[in-house]
Structure 1
Amino acid sequence: MDLERTDFVSVVVPAHNEAEGIVGTLKEIARVLASCGVKWEIIVVDDGSRDGTFDRVRDLAAREGRIKALRFSRNFGKESAILAGLRVARGQAVITMDADLQHPPRLIPLMLEAWREGSRVVDGVKKNRAGDGIAARLRAKAFNAVLSKMGGINIHDSSDFKLLDRVVVDALANQVPERRRFYRGLADWVGYSHASIPFDVEPRAQGVGKWSLLKLIELATTATVSFTSAPLRIVTLLGLLTLVFGFSVGTEALIGWFRGRAVSGFTTTISTLLILGSFIMISLGIIGEYIAKIYDEIKARPYYLVEDSVGFSPGKSEDFVPAQPRNAGAN
Structure 2
Amino acid sequence: MFQQKFALQSEVREAPLELCVVIPTLNEAGNVEALLEKLGIALAGIEWEAIFVDDGSTDGTPELLTKIAQADRRVRMIRRIGRRGLSSAVVEGALASTTPVIAVIDADMQHDERILPDLYRAVADGDELAIGTRYSGIGSTGDWDESRLKISRFATALASPIMKTRLSDPMSGFFAVRRDVLLEAAPRLSNVGYKILLDVVASIHRPLKTAEIGYTFGTRQHGESKLDEMVALEYVELLLDKTVGRFVPVKLVQFGAVGMLGVGVHLLLLDIALNALGLAFSWSQASAVIGAMTFNFALNNRFTYRDRQLKGLAWVGGLFSFYLVCSLGAVANVGIGSLVYDQFHGWWIAGIAGAIVGSVWNYVASGWLTWTRR
State if a TM-score over 0.5 links the two structures.
yes
Quote how far apart the aligned CAs of 1:156 are: 3.6
Question: Match of 2:201?
Answer: 188
Question: Match of 1:316?
Answer: none
Quote how far apart the aligned CAs of 1:161 are: 0.6
Q: 1:154·1:185 contact (CA, 8 Å) conserved in 2?
A: no
The 1:93/1:179 distance shift into structure 2, 3 A limit, reads closer
Tell me which protein shows more helix as a share of its residues: 2
Match of 2:222 among 206, 213, 218: 206
Quote how far apart the aligned CAs of 1:201 are: 0.4
Tell me which protein shows more strand as a share of its residues: 1
Distance in 1, matches of 2:72 and 2:41, equals 12
Question: Match of 1:166?
Answer: 179
Q: What stretches of structure 1 of length at least 5 have no aligned partner?
A: 233-280, 300-331
SS of the residue aligned with 1:160? coil
Identity of aligned residues (%): 22
Match of 2:133 among 125, 130, 134: 125
Distance in 2, matches of 1:120 and 1:74, equals 33
Distance in 2, matches of 1:146 and 1:176, equals 20
How many pairs align? 234
Say which is worse superposed, 124-133 or 38-47, in terms of deviation.
124-133
Quote how far apart the aligned CAs of 1:6 are: 5.0
Task: Compute the TM-score of the two structures, normalised by the length of structure 1.
Answer: 0.63
Question: Match of 2:115?
Answer: 107
Q: What stretches of structure 2 of length at least 5 have no aligned partner?
A: 1-14, 248-295, 305-358, 369-374
Equivalent residues in 2 for 1:14-25, closer than 5 Å: 14-25=24-35
Question: Match of 1:27?
Answer: 37
The answer on 1:221 being equivalent to 2:236 is yes
SS of the residue aligned with 2:114? helix
Amino acid at match of 1:167: D
Distance in 2, matches of 1:76 and 1:178, equals 14
Quote how far apart the aligned CAs of 1:227 are: 2.5
Quote how far apart the aligned CAs of 1:80 are: 1.3
Distance in 1, matches of 2:105 and 2:176, equals 9
Distance in 2, matches of 1:96 and 1:31, equals 17
Quote how far apart the aligned CAs of 1:96 are: 0.5
The 1:204/1:178 distance shift into structure 2, 3 A limit, reads closer
Quote how far apart the aligned CAs of 1:229 are: 4.2
Q: 2:109·2:221 contact (CA, 8 Å) conserved in 1?
A: yes
Q: 1:151·1:228 contact (CA, 8 Å) conserved in 2?
A: no
Quote how far apart the aligned CAs of 1:31 are: 2.6
Question: Match of 1:9?
Answer: 19
SS of the residue aligned with 1:119? coil
Say which is worse superposed, 159-168 or 143-152, in terms of deviation.
143-152
Amino acid at match of 2:88: S
RMSD: 3.1
Quote how far apart the aligned CAs of 1:93 are: 0.5
Distance in 1, matches of 2:37 and 2:153, equals 33
Q: 2:128·2:177 contact (CA, 8 Å) conserved in 1?
A: yes
The answer on 1:142 being equivalent to 2:154 is yes
Distance in 1, matches of 2:191 and 2:142, equals 31
Q: 1:151·1:227 contact (CA, 8 Å) conserved in 2?
A: no
Distance in 2, matches of 1:77 and 1:229, equals 22
Q: 2:27·2:223 contact (CA, 8 Å) conserved in 1?
A: no
Quote how far apart the aligned CAs of 1:112 are: 2.0
Quote how far apart the aligned CAs of 1:115 are: 1.6
Tell me which stretches of 4 or more aligned residues in structure 1 moved more than 4 Å: 150-153
